[in-house]
Amino acid sequence: MFEPPVDPNSKARLVAINLDEASIGRGNSSIEHEREVAIFDILESNKFELEGREGGPYELTLRLVEDRLVFVVSQHGSGEPFTVVLSLTPLRRIVKDYFIVCESYYQAIRTAPPSRIQAIDMGRRALHDEGTRVLTERLKGKINVDPDTARRLFTLICALHWKG
């Protein structure tokens, strides 16, 4: 499916992402770096709009509450927040498998032949694609995102769960 490039001047985008300190907490420097990179990548180029609402650009605060991912979205600089709550259950297995494959990948790049590294990387990408698809389905009817933004949001969700 062809997706036109994201318009950086569009109102349908995120201009800020905050992580709720109380629910997410701070990790070691590697975890913090992964989270910062994920946020930077999203903000660099994204399409993000609330279904059936006018507005934007938006600020997003992410919270983890029990088995739920909470998106608190507000108009940049003002506005009543709009909250979207997603169960993490459909993503839990994918995130867990993704971490396992990533760990195998990081071990393999030290000693494995290129063919083995490539095979593991293909598995990692397939899990990332599956997580992106599930996230997009879960957001449907609530938040519209382009495929690249969905991929980056899945990466951020993984970074929020990474224990290092």
Q: At what angle do helices 89-111 and 114-139 cross, to 10 degrees?
A: 160
The whole-angstrom separation of Cα 49 and Cα 34 is 25
Mean predicted confidence (pLDDT) in 43-58? 92
Instruction: Find, among 54, 60, 47, 48, the residue nearest to 16 by Cα.
Output: 60
Residue 128, amino acid = H
Share of the chain above pLDDT 70, in %: 90
Q: What is the pLDDT of residues 1-39, one digit of tens each?
A: 434 456 667 899 999 999 888 777 666 676 788 888 889
Domain residue extents for the chain:
14-161
- Per DSSP, 50 falls in state E
Do the beta carbons of residue 146 and residue 3 sit within 8 Å? yes
Tell me what the mean pLDDT of segment 122-130 comes to: 94
Tell me, what's the pLDDT at 159? Answer: 81
Torsion angle of the four alpha carbons 46, 40, 162, 20, in this order, in degrees rounded to the nearest 10: -90
Burial of 147 (0-12, 13-18, 19+ CB in 10 A): middle
pLDDT of residue 1: 42
Half-sphere exposure of residue 133: CA atoms within 13 angstroms, side-chain side:
7
pLDDT at 65 over 80: yes
Confidence of residue 79 (pLDDT cuts 50, 70, 90): confident
* Banded model confidence at residue 163, pLDDT cuts 50, 70, 90: low
* Distance between CA atoms of residues 14 and 98, nearest Å: 26
Average pLDDT of the segment spanning 145-163:
87
Which of the four pLDDT bands, split at 50, 70 and 90, describes residue 53? confident
Looking at the chain, the whole-number percentage of residues with pLDDT higher than 90 is 59
The reported pTM is 0.86
> If you count DSSP H runs as helices and E runs as strands, how many of each does the chain have, helices first?
5, 6
Peptide bond into 57 cis (omega under 30): yes
61 has a pLDDT exceeding 90: yes
More confident of the two residues 121 and 3: 121
Res. 150 pLDDT band, cuts 50 70 90: very high
